[in-house]
Amino acid sequence: MSKRGAYLDSLRETFDCAFRVLTSERFKKMEGLGNEVPFFVLRYKPEWEPTVDEEFSRLRRRLREERYHLADVDVFGLAVNIWKRSPFFDQMLAMEKTLPPETFRDALSKVIDVEGLLAPAIKKAVDEAGGEDSVDAVLLSGVHHLFPLVRTHLLLNCLQPLLGRVPLVVTFPGSYHQSPSTHSALVLFDQISQDNYYRAFDLVDFSLTLEPSAN
């Protein structure tokens, strides 16, 4: 049995764990959450990132074989589409070489607007997949590609009033340090703290509640 807070031995084992949790009745029925929002973090070692797309494809294929209804949302792709629809996008690209990096980053951040645009776009994608009453879970990928424009903890905060009735899993290359007495923190790439966040559950740690010996 794995130790709480520790990485599993490989990316394959991590995604096998995710499959086991996602298809469990305890997860689908949102049991053992103490009335908290059913948001989960699927963390993995940053150095495994180069092969993560392969494991995503394998996980999606296995879920389809189980007739699992997954709302699969590429958050980075949604952000790119929002940028491209902006009337200022071409202008920003033309000015990229002349603007200071901080100024360019701030301009992109204003266009993406996590609360006003990105979170509602994710909600719309879930609705198009059948809505909260039809999907078994929501899987968010690619959020880390938007750092520092979009921080995972802020996105999850904005999604709570929009998607609070269905299990939601966000993938994260890094650690999720949880503390019962102080704020917990997402640490991107095990180097960059994404500030305090304490409402999500660790998906790998949640798998321990599925073990007979955990009862």
Sequence ranges of the domains in the chain: 11-17+36-206
**Maximal CA-CA distance, the chain:** 60
Determine the pLDDT at residue 159.
95
Query: Is the per-residue pLDDT at 27 higher than 90?
Result: yes
Tens digits of per-residue pLDDT, 37-54?
A: 999 999 999 999 999 999
Contact 27, 17 (CB under 8 A): no
Q: What percentage of the chain exceeds 70 in pLDDT? A: 92
Query: Is the per-residue pLDDT at 1 higher than 90?
Result: no
Angle at which helix 101-112 crosses helix 75-85, to 10 degrees, equals 100
Tens digits of per-residue pLDDT, 158-210?
A: 999 999 899 999 999 999 887 655 567 888 888 877 556 557 899 999 998 88
pLDDT band at 214 (very low <50, low <70, confident <90, very high): very low
Determine the pLDDT at residue 17.
97
Average pLDDT, the chain: 88
**For residue 38, which of 46, 48, 49, 28 has the smallest C-alpha distance?**
28
Tens digits of per-residue pLDDT, 74-120?
A: 999 999 999 888 887 788 778 888 888 888 888 778 788 999 999 99
Q: Distance between CA 43 and CA 172 in Å, rounded? A: 5
Query: Is the per-residue pLDDT at 56 higher than 90?
Result: yes
